[in-house]
Amino acid sequence: MSDLPLIGLLHLLMGTLAVISGAGALAAAKGLRLHRIAGNLFFGAMLLLIASGLYFSVTRSILFTFFLSVMAFHLLSSGWVTVMRREGKTGRFELANCLFILLAGAAALGLGLTETIRGAPLQDDVPSAAFFILAALAVLFGAQDVAVIRRGGCTGKHRIARHLWRMCLSLFIAVTIFFLGNNDVLPEVLRTPFFLTAPIVAVPALMVFWLVRVTFTNWYSKTSLRDAVGRVSEA
């Protein structure tokens, strides 16, 4: 690993930290100190992981992973702001981030149409259908943002669910790129099918588990009551 360039070493370290801290945030009791610490580490690691992923995408002229990294940033930042805001509140950041992902979607659509007209892939040999899928996802995320902005924010379990699925999807995109697209920064001994696919499968599985628990059970109301009691006792 000593021959890794600095940016490659950063990518490796941040990818590892994002997976570990993300798993810790998912496993820890929500709202408690351990969850907040793991979540803060995850957010910082993801920002650096996405930044280094963008660097690799630009320097290697890989347009598809560039747009995936942009999408991961949108999901991460919007998921983070969801719990940083007070319930039922939105601001300029949500509007700017919504416009950001819609513009990214328009750019992806433009690339897909360009490939279709040319009849050949662009730099990274990705078919036009892949860019159309990215554009559709961007519109979907943007439309959900518009709905939240028009409602004036999220409250209750819907706020937690929005935070959860956006943070998890950003992690899913990042680990997929990291373990499948840029795994050349990993030691060769770790490039096994199990090691490269296990994190990619685990992230959406945990996301679905928590979404079901938050949305369709009374876990959230019990957690809210427990946290309220804890804050009163601390006071």
Predicted TM-score of the model (pTM): 0.82
Distance of alpha carbon 167 from alpha carbon 202, whole angstroms: 14
In angstroms, the CA 2 to CA 169 distance is 32
Burial of residue 41 (CB within 10 Å: 0-12, 13-18, 19+) is middle
Report the C-alpha gap between 72 and 77 in whole angstroms: 9
User: What is the distance, to the nearest Å, from the Cα of residue 96 to the centroid of all Cα atoms in its chain?
Assistant: 18
Domain regions of the chain by residue span = 6-234
The pLDDT profile of the chain, 235 residues, written as one tens digit per residue, is: 444 578 778 877 887 888 888 878 877 766 677 878 888 999 999 999 888 888 888 888 888 889 999 999 999 999 999 988 888 888 999 999 999 999 999 999 999 998 888 877 666 678 888 999 999 999 999 999 999 999 988 888 889 899 999 999 998 888 787 777 766 666 777 777 777 888 888 888 888 988 898 888 876 665 554 443 333 333 3
- The pair of structure tokens assigned to 28 is 């820890």
**What whole-number distance in Å separates Cα of residue 33 and Cα of residue 208?**
23
Q: In terms of DSSP H, where are the helices of 119-218?
A: 128-151, 156-176, 193-216
Q: Which two tokens stand for residue 46?
A: 């993801």
CA atoms of 92 and 104, how far apart (whole Å)? 18
Two structure tokens written together for 215: 């949305």
Phi-psi region of 33 (alpha: psi -120 to 50; beta: other; left: phi over 0): alpha
